[in-house]
Amino acid sequence: MSVTRELARYVVESRAEDIPADVRREARRAVVNIVGCMLGGAPEAGTGIAAGVFAPLSGPGTAGIVGRRERMDIARAALINGITSHYHDFDDTLPKNYIHASPPVAAALLAYASALPVSGADVLHAFILGFEVTSRIGNATYPAHYDAGWHSTGTCGVFGAAAAIGKLAGLSVDEMVGAFGLAATQASGIREMFGSMAKPFHAGHAARNGYESALLAKAGFTSGPRALEGPRGFAHVLAAARDLSKVTDRLGAAYDLRHNTYKPFPCGIVNHPAIDAAIQLHDEHAIDHAAIRAVRLEVAPLVIDLCGKTAISTGLEGKFSVVHGAAVGLVRGRAGLAEYTDDAVADPAVKRVRELAVRESDPAIGEDGVHLVVELADGTRLEKRLEHSLGNLERPLSDAQLSAKFTDQALRVLSTDAAERALAMAWTVDDLPNVADLVAATVPA
Amino acid sequence: MSVTRELARYVVESRAEDIPADVRREARRAVVNIVGCMLGGAPEAGTGIAAGVFAPLSGPGTAGIVGRRERMDIARAALINGITSHYHDFDDTLPKNYIHASPPVAAALLAYASALPVSGADVLHAFILGFEVTSRIGNATYPAHYDAGWHSTGTCGVFGAAAAIGKLAGLSVDEMVGAFGLAATQASGIREMFGSMAKPFHAGHAARNGYESALLAKAGFTSGPRALEGPRGFAHVLAAARDLSKVTDRLGAAYDLRHNTYKPFPCGIVNHPAIDAAIQLHDEHAIDHAAIRAVRLEVAPLVIDLCGKTAISTGLEGKFSVVHGAAVGLVRGRAGLAEYTDDAVADPAVKRVRELAVRESDPAIGEDGVHLVVELADGTRLEKRLEHSLGNLERPLSDAQLSAKFTDQALRVLSTDAAERALAMAWTVDDLPNVADLVAATVPA
């Protein structure tokens, strides 16, 4: 059986009761995290621009949008949810393939479930399957696909969104194969867009296109049956090297959700060790930032490759600047959403420290590690070496930390009471008779 | 100046009066051809499926669709126009890069112009620019991009659609650069889908995504400024080799529209020499197909690569089968839309000749040539060798042949009178005060 068909059959035949309890638990954590991220991204400028463009084009407003008052058709709501979910780069990350797997899947699912009565148990099950489809296609093509310049959150996420919606819509195996074909031929998103609104847009178009792929396939719109493994299929065309056995290896037994991580800081994950170390130094030594004379960051080469920006002027660019992360950590002792605004990037104190920071690429340092050295005016030399940063698999965010992260973001658009109510619903999503209630709970009054 | 910006500036600054008369004339021919193709694709099953899926999701029906009664929002109308324009593989082809450049550009433009008052002169100008953008990006990445498995009609067409809509919408140079970024990061479509409805869908999603890219950029949604030439931009990520100077070389002086071709047969262009030769033998010798005992086709290797299908059961698959093309030419003496239906593929006489045909790859034969040998029951050996087939640059379709091709397709949905009226408007598109009138003229009563 072809890889594409085997994956399709798994999605179609999976039963909720087959999913292990620990995977369901991790799925709930992922839902709490991603709904929080959508709330954090909902009031942003780029979200407003996209909503303004798509609202007049939207069909009847059957679907709600997390954190916003507009109602749109499901496809456009999925698109907006996708943009918000990835807007702050605050979403979940799979360290093994650098994919943010929840955004496209959850964006499509919440739009769909806001329009049609779907139970939380079904949504959580579909989410788990969509997440797994995304990550496994990522594993099979990593690192060649990502290294070439593809943003795999978008390119692999479209398959996950198609799988999740296809599951809820009751596609047959043939139809699911068809949906994967239509997803494959819409897979897109290049890393040249990093640092602009087009990056979160990738999660949006993956959600929208995945949803439409499932719908078209169910209606009988045909596609090539070998989307993943065909000689001109996704894996061969978009990855110089590939191992397709990873798509189906231990399907239904191994779950990548077990290896998902949640960010404490709203920026590229490779910046996190530097930020973590900077905050620790700030807190341990009560550093007065005016006294900082030199900052030296030793990081893995990938960090410079992904987040090497130095001359920056916008909050979005700041997300791709490891020196900005270190600067806000040292100056402010925190790196929340407020540290990734245009204002924060222009803050003279932050700017001064950012501009004197020197970054060195050191292949001996792991991608989750950092060596940070700070010199003060009085000659004091402070130093912090981390092997693992907060939020990674060795130091995962606790449920309480995830709740706090949710609330911080939710308060941008919701009252304290409303944020608390939405959080409680997100934690118990699989008990909800109708997930539309969760989406409704996130809409500002 | 970057390649992306230089291209954007050209599109923004181009004036209609700068376009040479021969290019305008060829643009009119392209419009006649592509509107005819939309009419031919309008009543097809795949079009109906897509229209059925998108109608309930569509915004207010501000836009008309060529050849169909539904009205949708511009984005969805562009998508459906794109599907119909490429449905029969009957559209125009650029021999230098195998791109069908008109479909995405015209699909977006006609949707846009059906909703807003736009003059024919402006639409023709925008069409010429969009066509040129598509083809030049194709030239810069050909052959590596196409050979890798990309369907460049979709991947390059999205830039052309963005350019054309961006021109009509009055984008600034910065905004046009932004539109190209959003187009680049939605560029998609793989050749694994050939032989399915997903292939014409590529022209549809390119049209829809190009339109939305222009709209988003105009509204201030940002993207990376080096869409084409950036290290993780379109050309580097989607082509193993590239020559970006071809994007801007002799911009405004050299026009690829001068090298556009129109197909006499609704299938992959590399099949055309075999079909042409078969029809010539059929006509010259009044062949009784029952007497055919052997058929031998010698063709360029690319023909087998692109159209080597032999065991086929659908009309769509027939488009990618050079032996089917030869069979209908020999059996029926023609290869129109009626020869690419499921019925025609199942026709016992056609099937018999198709199945006895032997195809040989011969590197000495050019991609526009063929050597066809037919043996009859009485031992007669008939032979036809072509260097160039009808419809190529050396033997272009005349205006009269283009009109006949238009009418053949238009009669599938329009009365004779209505078809004639629509044809006359298409030939004089740049005299129309409002192109919405042309689209309206194509809508069935």
Q: Looking at CA atoms only, how far is residue A359 from chain B in angstroms?
A: 22
> Are A236 and B191 a contacting pair at CB < 8 A?
no
* Strand A357-361 relative to strand A292-299, pairing: parallel
The phi and psi torsions of A321 (rounded to 5 degrees) equal: -130, 105
Please report the pLDDT score of residue B269 as a whole number. Answer: 83
Q: Is the pLDDT of residue A117 over 90?
A: yes
Q: CA-CA distance, A395 to A391, in Å (whole number)?
A: 5
pLDDT, one tens digit per residue, over B77-100 is 999 999 999 999 899 999 999 999
- At residue A281 the predicted structure's pLDDT band, cuts being 50, 70 and 90, is very high
Q: CA-CA distance, B208 to B57, in Å (whole number)?
A: 14
Please report the pLDDT score of residue B14 as a whole number. Answer: 98
> Are B149 and A233 a contacting pair at CB < 8 A?
yes
Which residues from chain B sit within 8 angstroms of residue A49, using beta carbons?
A: 216, 219-221
Q: Quick one: which of A92, A96, A87, A167 has its CA closest to A130? A: A167
A100 DSSP assignment? -
Please report the pLDDT score of residue A133 as a whole number. Answer: 98
Q: Is the pLDDT of residue A336 over 90?
A: no
- At residue A269 the predicted structure's pLDDT band, cuts being 50, 70 and 90, is confident
Matching residue, tokens 């692109």:
B306
Helices B157-168, B120-141: crossing angle, 10 deg rounding: 150
Which residues from chain A sit within 8 angstroms of residue B77, using beta carbons?
A: none
> Are B192 and A198 a contacting pair at CB < 8 A?
no
Nearest CA in chain A to B229: A192
Cβ atoms of residues B302 and B270 within 8 Å? yes
Question: Dihedral of CA B435/B438/B441/B443: which sign?
Answer: negative
Q: Looking at CA atoms only, how far is residue A3 from chain B in angstroms?
A: 15
pLDDT, one tens digit per residue, over B367-392 is 899 999 999 999 999 999 999 999 98
A294 DSSP assignment? E
> Are A224 and B196 a contacting pair at CB < 8 A?
yes
Name the residue facing B53 among A49, A151, A215 (closest C-beta). Answer: A215
> Are A222 and B53 a contacting pair at CB < 8 A?
no
Cβ atoms of residues A72 and A55 within 8 Å? yes
B259 DSSP assignment? G
Q: Looking at CA atoms only, how far is residue A307 from chain B in angstroms?
A: 14
Residues in CB range of B200: below 8 A, 6 or more apart: B41, B46, B82, B83, B84, B85, B86, B87
pLDDT, one tens digit per residue, over A171-210 is 999 999 999 999 999 999 999 999 899 999 999 999 999 9
Matching residue, tokens 């033997």:
B395
Average pLDDT rounded to a whole number, residues A338-342:
92
- At residue B336 the predicted structure's pLDDT band, cuts being 50, 70 and 90, is confident
Task: Report the CATH architecture of B3-263+396-441.
Answer: Orthogonal Bundle (1.10)
Please report the pLDDT score of residue A113 as a whole number. Answer: 98
Which residues from chain B sit within 8 angstroms of residue A236, using beta carbons?
A: 149
Q: Looking at CA atoms only, how far is residue A93 from chain B in angstroms?
A: 21
> Are B57 and A73 a contacting pair at CB < 8 A?
yes
Please report the pLDDT score of residue B316 as a whole number. Answer: 84
Measured in whole angstroms, the distance separating CA B65 from the mean position of its chain's CA atoms is 17
Q: Looking at CA atoms only, how far is residue B420 from chain A in angstroms?
A: 32
b vs e for A139-174, b when ≥16 Cβ sit within 10 Å of the residue's Cβ? bbbbeebbebbbbbbbbbbbbbbbbbbbbbbebeee
Q: Is A361 left (phi over 0), alpha (psi -120 to 50) or beta?
A: beta
- A·B CB contacts under 8 A: 184
pLDDT, one tens digit per residue, over A307-329 is 998 999 999 899 999 999 999 99
Q: Is the pLDDT of residue B244 over 90?
A: yes
Q: Is the pLDDT of residue B195 over 90?
A: no
Q: Looking at CA atoms only, how far is residue A190 from chain B in angstroms?
A: 5
The domain spans of chain B are: 3-263+396-441, 269-386
Q: Looking at CA atoms only, how far is residue A197 from chain B in angstroms?
A: 5
Q: CA-CA distance, B422 to B416, in Å (whole number)?
A: 10
Q: CA-CA distance, A82 to B71, in Å (whole number)?
A: 28
Nearest CA in chain A to B189: A185
Average pLDDT rounded to a whole number, residues B282-302:
96
CATH, domain B269-386, list 3.30.1330.120, 3.30.70.100, 1.10.10.10, 3.40.605.10: 3.30.1330.120
Cβ atoms of residues A218 and A177 within 8 Å? no
> Are A53 and B216 a contacting pair at CB < 8 A?
yes
| Alpha carbon distance, N-terminus to C-terminus of chain A | 51
Q: Is the pLDDT of residue B159 over 90?
A: yes
Name the residue facing B233 among A73, A151, A190 (closest C-beta). Answer: A190
pTM here?
0.92
Name the residue facing B49 among A196, A205, A220 (closest C-beta). Answer: A220
Please report the pLDDT score of residue B1 as a whole number. Answer: 82
Please report the pLDDT score of residue B369 as a whole number. Answer: 95
Question: Dihedral of CA B212/B213/B217/B222: which sign?
Answer: positive
Q: Quick one: which of A103, A107, A206, A108 has its CA closest to A150? A: A206
Please report the pLDDT score of residue A155 as a whole number. Answer: 98
Cβ atoms of residues A415 and A395 within 8 Å? no
Please report the pLDDT score of residue A30 as a whole number. Answer: 98
Nearest CA in chain A to B185: A189
pLDDT, one tens digit per residue, over A32-82 is 999 999 999 999 999 999 999 999 999 999 999 999 999 999 999 999 999
Cβ atoms of residues B264 and B272 within 8 Å? yes
> Are B201 and A195 a contacting pair at CB < 8 A?
no
> Are A185 and B198 a contacting pair at CB < 8 A?
yes
pLDDT, one tens digit per residue, over A16-33 is 999 999 999 999 999 999
The phi and psi torsions of A286 (rounded to 5 degrees) equal: 45, 55
Pick among B62, B98, B171, B190 to test the A interface (most A CBs inside 10 A)? B190
State the burial class of residue B138 (Cβ atoms within 10 Å of its Cβ: 0-12, 13-18, 19+): buried
The mean pLDDT of chain A is 96
Q: CA-CA distance, B196 to A174, in Å (whole number)?
A: 14
Cβ atoms of residues A100 and A72 within 8 Å? no
Average pLDDT rounded to a whole number, residues A286-300:
97
Q: Which of A364-368, B66-70, B134-138 has the lowest mean pLDDT?
A: A364-368
Q: Quick one: which of B105, B89, B193, B84 has its CA closest to A213? A: B193
Which residues face B357 on adjacent strands?
Answer: B295
Q: Quick one: which of B195, B187, B149 has its CA closest to A155? A: B187
Q: CA-CA distance, A445 to A442, in Å (whole number)?
A: 9
Percent of chain A with pLDDT over 70: 100
Nearest CA in chain B to A220: B49
Name the residue facing A198 among B212, B224, B231 (closest C-beta). Answer: B224
Average pLDDT rounded to a whole number, residues B11-24:
98
b vs e for A249-287, b when ≥16 Cβ sit within 10 Å of the residue's Cβ? eebeeebbbeebbbbbbbbbbbbbbbbbbbbbbbeeeeb
Helices A120-141, A157-168: crossing angle, 10 deg rounding: 150
